[in-house]
Structure 1
Amino acid sequence: MAKKWQAHWIVDPVFYGLSPRNIFRQELANDNNHQHRQELKNRHTLIRKTFYINEEIKSAHLDISADDYYKLKINGHAIGQGPAPGYFFHYYYNKYQVEQYLKKGKNVVTVHLYYQGLINRVWNSGDYRQGMIAELFINNKLKIKTDQSWLYKNILAYKSGGITGYQTQFLENIDLNYYPTGWNKINYNDQIWQQSAIKYSDDHKLFLQPTPKLSFYLKNPQKIKELGSGHYLVDFGQIIVGYFKFSAVGKKGEIIEIRHGEELLAGKQVRYQLRSNCKYQEFITLSGKLDRPEFYDYKVFRYVEVIAHDKLSKSLKPESFKALIRHYKFIDQNTTFNSSDQRLNSIWSICKAAVKYGVQSAYLDCPGREKGQYLGDAVITSLSHYYLTGDLRLYKKAIKDFALSSYISAGLMAVAPGSLMQEIADYSLQWPLLLLHYYEFSGDKYFLKEMYPVAEKLLNYFKKFQRSDGLLTDVNEKWNLVDWPVIMRDNYAVNLKQLSENPEYGCHNVINAFFLGMVKTINKIRDILDISYDNNFSKLEKSFLAAFYDKKQKLFTDTEKKNHSAIHSNILPLFFGFAPLEAEAAIVNLVKTKGLKCGVYMAYYLLKALARVGEYKLVYQLIINKSKNSWFNMLTEGATTCWEVWSKTQKENASLLHPWASTPIIVIIEDLLEIDLRVSNQAKALTDNPKLFNYIEQVEFSLQNKFVNIEINKLLNKNKITKHF
């Protein structure tokens, strides 16, 4: 049952009379909206509410939401931040148990509210929907609610240092002379603060966020090196996501420069102009008192360079240098892997780290450049994340996020939520697969039934591109991706221009292979739900074979001209199970010849296709191979998390933290250890002699979550599997 709010949505009065901007449109449609007012971008607002408690506090909870984002404290104690991004018509609020932070007498709730105003993949910002709503209940009785008595103050401390990433975030040049020190303490003097305005016409539809609050914790540097007077290089040992924290006592107006980066230049200074289009160079102006600056938005980094511009300054305190890490709830010991193959161990480690740090309140593709949830990435990251955490809540939320994008287009958006409108046909065609995977792990038939109409609408959307034989042609209103980056397409014989370049894609293999895969998946969902339908799959299969199968070569071609066979054109029919039996050996030989001649994203389909036809040894060899297109190459180039590409040289703006490259986790568990956690198969989740035992001498694996407890241990000259359910 939806919560009935008694509180009002409150806003900074400057937003009070503004009508929401419609930011939704299909990617090719003209954006006829007026320009966003510049002075309303990058808006930091502080909110305070003091109140008194006379009764004994047995229980207390606070419900809160904000647009775009809030950071909540009670009596100076950090409670949480959020909400997860969402569309205004399905927006999230958070619930916190807070009895331990309250006391009899005077109390204060404080909120650092942020409205960004940019059109990007992070939030649904740029629409003039700003403000917050909150209710505090003590002993199940409403104690306080947002109204005009909640005081606000706009602060000028967070000055823009420019915009970085893909219009992703404002750099924060923080002038602490404008920061109201102690504003979140109970007895702070807020007499000059103003009353908030009530937005009676607010149109947010609020739903309880189904995922837990993010984890935050401090990490000490692995190493601090003094490069000169007041000049330090801080190394946290691996790429992480979060905030750099430090203390300083210096002269009023003194400048401290902070540079974040993933790599070093010449082994000494931080490369703050990241490969991934992020420039992390910011300046802090000290107040002359004890300063503890707090960056509002998070970054991806390993190194931090701290520079006092006054070379004689003694303001910096290296012992205060720390990182505040943030990510989705993640327990390292939930799933562990170790073996006698050290290369495989290292590959597992970088993939696990990327999933740990890259998954926030959504399955992010890159927590620096885009900070957005892409559908194609989510198909892979959701599986890795489930195996590492046993948590299906974010899995379910991601499916719903993309389903809600059907409000914009029945063909779904490539990134959701978010105010940037981007469409990729390949990704939309994979949404039913994401849904089916979730059902297989959860057994949640009610949710499957709830989502089924979205799958039907998606299918009907693509039907408008069908020609007489049922194949898709000229799907020109969505980008046909095939693989990414461009050089990873194995010379695919179609000019895959982006939508802004007016492409004419015609009828080609990969989009149709995904289409057949989608139809097959939807049919399976229909069978589960006992929905009757006309099964036209065999006709589609025949059309696909007629168009793209070269009987002489026993391979699939990229187009009907049958003049080139990219690896992508062959692994998808094998993955989805409509490659002829006679073609399997030829496709396997093609992979043996070409290796991983695809991007890390499509490597999921390649390895799973090989496993499907029993090529487990080849799967293992490809995971640990030493060519340039390999996870090993990432390691040789210094990876601590898996990347967007196999090598830094393959993409000018490569992301060095990209969970979509975490396929080895999935394949090791599902195919090499032969663990099947689908609800229908958990009684026989393990085999006594998994395939990986044939290739390495020692294996230790554990997977523990609320659903299952599995231990596998193969010792030298001795096979032993311990099963716990």
Structure 2
Amino acid sequence: MDKIWQGKWITESKFYGLSPINLFHREIEEGEKRKHLEKLKNRHMLVRKTFTITEDIKTAYLDITADDYYKLKINGKTVGEGPAPAYFFHYFYNRYQVENYLKEGENLISVHLYYQGLVNRVWNSGDYRQGMIAELFINDKLKLKSDKSWKYKITEAYQNGGITGYQTQFLENIDFNLIDKNWQQLDYDDSNWSNVCVNNSDDHKFYKQPISGLDFYYIKPVKINKIKDNHYLIDFGQIIVGYFQMTAKGFKNERIEIRQGEELREDEDRVRYNLRSNCKYQEFITLSGGKDKLNFYDYKVFRYVEVIAHNPDSKALYPETFKALVRHYKFEDENTTFYSSNSKLNRIWQICKNSVKYGTQYQYLDCPGREKGQYLGDALITGLAHHYLTGDLKLYKKAVQDFALSSYISPGLMAVAPGGLMQEIADYSLQWPALLLKYYRLSGDKKFLRKMYPTAEKLLAYFKQFQRGDGLLTEVNEKWNLVDWPKNMRDNYQVKLEQLNKKPEYGCHNVINAFFVGMVKTINEIRDILSIEYKNQFSKLKQAFREAFYNQNKKLFVDTETTDHSAVHSNILPLLYGLAPAEAEKEIVDLIKEKGLKCGVYMAYYLLKALARVGEYSLIYNLIVNENKNSWNTMIKEGATTCFEVWSKEQKKNTSLLHPWASAPIIIIIEDLLGIELSNSGKRNQIKMTPHLPAELDRIKFTMQNKDLKIEIKKDSSQTGFFISPVL
């Protein structure tokens, strides 16, 4: 821990004395069999503490955290919420400067604490570690700490509307008759509230959260359609992440139905609230008879909202109050901008940018609706795109560490981190060193690289247990071998890639070994940077890989040693990692020309980067803007405002329509077409630029600016050359 706490971990009485449930286990193993009590799920705990200030307030800060989540006000004013999801043994607390929220005399801290109790990819919930801790310092002296004098009440207002997603969140059927409307006001009478319980056995280890809080702001609908009396369809113009809000005043106990979704039902002016992505966003609120302000606690992904007052005599709805509270990690739209003479490319850039913007919360989420979790494979793409769009590296660094901390569960790392769902994907684990090395290249933070290096060595040692005599991996059966996702995007890859619950036998195949040899190459680079001696096995592994998977007659790589099928996946990774002989490069490029993006949106990143390695920039551009079925243009034709999980809505039955892992064009345009290479020596940023723009683009304007740098690139058909002005 980075500080010694004097405050106590406080909890509600029903959690007092419960020992934590151990959620951690390998995916192929059973976890603790003790079941979580249903009555202790979906708990909304309201906490209050009044106190008096007599001294002059020069500076003041509050340290606070909760498990799972809190929303904090001081004297009725919103201060913040959090923390970012984390493992209990490395749990984050937030620090707020609060001198402007405090006053001389009586003050109130109020906290709406939520404990979900589900095991999923969102939080490490479902382990009985419910509660919170806080300390207030005024003029650098401890003024207030959480202890048994704090008071609480469990509110029943947020009634269970069912569970949606992959056990992701409870829907909220809010009953305004049960809302304590003034509980966050100083003069509220809490005499009938209970005193909290102090858990002296709490085992959280606290660390100050290394990233900032989120941005929250309101937007108005772009269109409100009155379908009939008391029935409205609201369009916010694009898919967003956040909360629908409104004010209603109707009959006591009148019910209002709220439907939210990413799209409309086909041929109907109605919301598709049964989302493709396995979420059902249908909730009912019960009015109190007074003025009721709707504030859902948990966020959703939506564009459209349908509001229905089913009582034909209702006068409850006020369309002028309809709005959305948007949330995402810090993001300035003007930090990085791109415009070209190709309108298709511009639209592709925009949907990718929107995906990264709304899909980045406290983590790089794969889908902020269905899973709300951070996957390692997704983070490698989304994290880099997010950095180029914002200049932020704190979240990138946190992602690297999040997955390193999952070695507590397995030295082979988890696919989702942090999170209570135990999922393992070999392909993703093999890419963690690349995530680490890229962070170092961008930051120059050698101290962090050295700190993380042992995790890379443990990861390598973990996979070595699956090596056969020639060094290649075989039967990595305790982690899922993914290759690509969904299944129909694998280009008929000749391995039966069953998930772990079906006890697969993967054998020795191309993609996992390509990632493995690539990982060895990456770890060697890290060792060189850190001046660590090692026995270089890369050349031996490269030769073994060729002998196993290279077909001399076809001059292509095959999927396994026992097939002559050459999936595009089996060839892009050897091309990317320098495993292909020179004679094979043209054949692989020709294969890609023939097949196009015969892969999922996730592996499209590797395909495009492989082409960049051999200088095929024109082909890269043509693939990005192509209009075949597997293309970003297909998403746009199908109404995308953010990237899909797959190329087309119909390619996966539970497709997410906001999936940032499809944002590869952001990276490819910047790194490969514009030819911008950013690095840091540890002392200053370094910029190299070698544009590879196709002749078809006769106009381009690109800007990248943040606190550390400014880059402008312009190309105009009326002038020759580029005008590049990096400012450090």
TM-score of the two chains, using structure 2 as the length reference: 0.98
Q: Is the CA contact 1:617–1:695 (under 8 Å) kept in the aligned structure 2?
A: no
Correspondence 1:722 to 2:724: yes
Q: Residue by residue, what CA displacement relative to the aligned partner does 1:147-170 show, whole Å, maximum 9, x if unpaired? A: 011100000011111100000000
What is the CA distance between 1:695 and its match in structure 2? 3.0
SS in 2 for 1:694: coil
Residue 695 of structure 2 corresponds to which residue in structure 1? 694
Residue 60 of structure 1 corresponds to which residue in structure 2? 60
Q: Distance in 2 between matches of 1:357 and 1:555?
A: 40
What is the CA distance between 1:716 and its match in structure 2? 2.1
Residue 516 of structure 1 corresponds to which residue in structure 2? 517
Residue 639 of structure 2 corresponds to which residue in structure 1? 638
Q: Distance in 2 between matches of 1:342 and 1:524?
A: 40
What is the CA distance between 1:447 and its match in structure 2? 0.3
Q: Is the CA contact 2:601–2:645 (under 8 Å) kept in the aligned structure 1?
A: yes
Which amino acid is 2:379 matched to? A
SS in 1 for 2:601: coil
Residue 497 of structure 1 corresponds to which residue in structure 2? 498
What is the CA distance between 1:138 and its match in structure 2? 1.2
Residue 174 of structure 1 corresponds to which residue in structure 2? 174
Q: Distance in 1 between matches of 2:258 and 2:381?
A: 35
What is the CA distance between 1:713 and its match in structure 2? 1.2
Correspondence 1:108 to 2:108: yes
Q: Is the CA contact 2:107–2:186 (under 8 Å) kept in the aligned structure 1?
A: yes
Q: Is the CA contact 2:375–2:415 (under 8 Å) kept in the aligned structure 1?
A: yes
SS in 2 for 1:685: strand
Residue 629 of structure 1 corresponds to which residue in structure 2? 630
Q: Is the CA contact 1:550–1:562 (under 8 Å) kept in the aligned structure 2?
A: no
Q: Residue by residue, what CA displacement relative to the aligned partner does 1:173-209 show, whole Å, maximum 9, x if unpaired? A: 0011111011111111111111000000000000000
Q: How many residues align?
A: 724
Q: Distance in 1 between matches of 2:344 and 2:99?
A: 49
Q: Distance in 2 between matches of 1:506 and 1:95?
A: 50
Q: Residue by residue, what CA displacement relative to the aligned partner does 1:546-597 show, whole Å, maximum 9, x if unpaired? A: 0000011110000002420000000001111111111100000000000000
Residue 6 of structure 1 corresponds to which residue in structure 2? 6
Q: Is the CA contact 1:462–1:472 (under 8 Å) kept in the aligned structure 2?
A: yes
Which amino acid is 2:68 matched to? D
Residue 583 of structure 2 corresponds to which residue in structure 1? 582
Q: Distance in 2 between matches of 1:152 and 1:451?
A: 41
Where do residues 181-200 of structure 1 align in structure 2 (5 Å cutoff)? 181-200=181-200
SS in 2 for 1:602: helix
Q: Residue by residue, what CA displacement relative to the aligned partner does 1:488-546 show, whole Å, maximum 9, x if unpaired? A: 00000000000001100000000000000000000000000000001111111111000
Q: Distance in 1 between matches of 2:616 and 2:648?
A: 26
Residue 245 of structure 1 corresponds to which residue in structure 2? 245
Where do residues 427-466 of structure 1 align in structure 2 (5 Å cutoff)? 427-466=428-467
SS in 1 for 2:676: coil
Q: Residue by residue, what CA displacement relative to the aligned partner does 1:347-402 show, whole Å, maximum 9, x if unpaired? A: 00000000000000000000000000000000100110000000000000001000
Aligned-pair identity in percent equals: 66
Q: Distance in 2 between matches of 1:61 and 1:629?
A: 52
What is the CA distance between 1:13 and its match in structure 2? 1.2
Q: Is the CA contact 1:136–1:143 (under 8 Å) kept in the aligned structure 2?
A: yes
Which amino acid is 1:685 matched to? I
What is the CA distance between 1:312 and its match in structure 2? 1.8
SS in 2 for 1:232: strand
Where do residues 655-674 of structure 1 align in structure 2 (5 Å cutoff)? 655-674=656-675
- Range moving further from structure 2, 23-32 or 401-410: 23-32
SS in 2 for 1:251: coil
Where do residues 320-339 of structure 1 align in structure 2 (5 Å cutoff)? 320-339=321-340
Which amino acid is 2:289 matched to? G
What is the CA distance between 1:720 and its match in structure 2? 3.7
Residue 269 of structure 1 corresponds to which residue in structure 2? 270
Where do residues 648-659 of structure 1 align in structure 2 (5 Å cutoff)? 648-659=649-660
Q: Distance in 2 between matches of 1:288 and 1:580?
A: 76
What is the CA distance between 1:267 and its match in structure 2? 4.0
Residue 37 of structure 1 corresponds to which residue in structure 2? 37
What is the CA distance between 1:311 and its match in structure 2? 2.0
Q: Is the CA contact 1:70–1:111 (under 8 Å) kept in the aligned structure 2?
A: yes
Which amino acid is 2:127 matched to? D
Q: Tell me, which stretches of 5 or more residues in structure 1 are unaligned?
A: none
Q: Distance in 2 between matches of 1:290 and 1:553?
A: 73
Q: Is the CA contact 2:678–2:688 (under 8 Å) kept in the aligned structure 1?
A: no
What is the CA distance between 1:293 and its match in structure 2? 2.1
Q: Is the CA contact 1:600–1:660 (under 8 Å) kept in the aligned structure 2?
A: yes
SS in 2 for 1:518: helix
Q: Distance in 1 between matches of 2:453 and 2:226?
A: 59
Residue 619 of structure 2 corresponds to which residue in structure 1? 618
Which amino acid is 1:398 matched to? A
Q: Distance in 1 between matches of 2:313 and 2:356?
A: 43
SS in 1 for 2:216: strand
Q: Is the CA contact 2:376–2:403 (under 8 Å) kept in the aligned structure 1?
A: yes
Residue 394 of structure 1 corresponds to which residue in structure 2? 395
Q: Is the CA contact 1:229–1:312 (under 8 Å) kept in the aligned structure 2?
A: no
Q: Is the CA contact 1:516–1:541 (under 8 Å) kept in the aligned structure 2?
A: yes
Correspondence 1:370 to 2:371: yes
Residue 212 of structure 1 corresponds to which residue in structure 2? 212
Residue 552 of structure 1 corresponds to which residue in structure 2? 553
What is the CA distance between 1:684 and its match in structure 2? 6.5
Residue 138 of structure 1 corresponds to which residue in structure 2? 138
Q: Distance in 2 between matches of 1:57 and 1:575?
A: 59
Q: Is the CA contact 2:680–2:686 (under 8 Å) kept in the aligned structure 1?
A: no
Which amino acid is 2:197 matched to? A
Q: Tell me, which stretches of 5 or more residues in structure 2 are unaligned?
A: none
Which amino acid is 1:493 matched to? Q
SS in 2 for 1:78: strand
Q: Which runs of 4+ in 1 moved over 4 A?
A: 680-684
Q: Distance in 2 between matches of 1:150 and 1:267?
A: 52
What is the CA distance between 1:717 and its match in structure 2? 2.3
Q: Is the CA contact 1:22–1:33 (under 8 Å) kept in the aligned structure 2?
A: no
Q: Residue by residue, what CA displacement relative to the aligned partner does 1:408-442 show, whole Å, maximum 9, x if unpaired? A: 00000000001100000000000000000000000
Q: Distance in 1 between matches of 2:201 and 2:354?
A: 44
Correspondence 1:318 to 2:319: yes
Q: Is the CA contact 2:50–2:107 (under 8 Å) kept in the aligned structure 1?
A: yes
Residue 233 of structure 1 corresponds to which residue in structure 2? 233
Q: Distance in 2 between matches of 1:230 and 1:208?
A: 48
- Range moving further from structure 2, 707-716 or 503-512: 707-716
When the two chains are superposed, the root-mean-square deviation of aligned CA atoms in Å is: 1.1
Q: Is the CA contact 2:119–2:421 (under 8 Å) kept in the aligned structure 1?
A: yes
Which amino acid is 1:358 matched to? G
Q: Is the CA contact 1:693–1:714 (under 8 Å) kept in the aligned structure 2?
A: no
Q: Is the CA contact 2:242–2:325 (under 8 Å) kept in the aligned structure 1?
A: yes
SS in 2 for 1:61: strand
What is the CA distance between 1:31 and its match in structure 2? 2.6
Residue 290 of structure 2 corresponds to which residue in structure 1? 289
SS in 2 for 1:345: helix
Q: Is the CA contact 1:693–1:699 (under 8 Å) kept in the aligned structure 2?
A: no
Q: Is the CA contact 1:358–1:367 (under 8 Å) kept in the aligned structure 2?
A: yes
Residue 705 of structure 1 corresponds to which residue in structure 2? 706
Where do residues 45-84 of structure 1 align in structure 2 (5 Å cutoff)? 45-84=45-84
Which amino acid is 1:420 matched to? L
What is the CA distance between 1:685 and its match in structure 2? 2.4
Q: Distance in 2 between matches of 1:258 and 1:186?
A: 32
Q: Is the CA contact 1:548–1:562 (under 8 Å) kept in the aligned structure 2?
A: no
SS in 1 for 2:79: strand
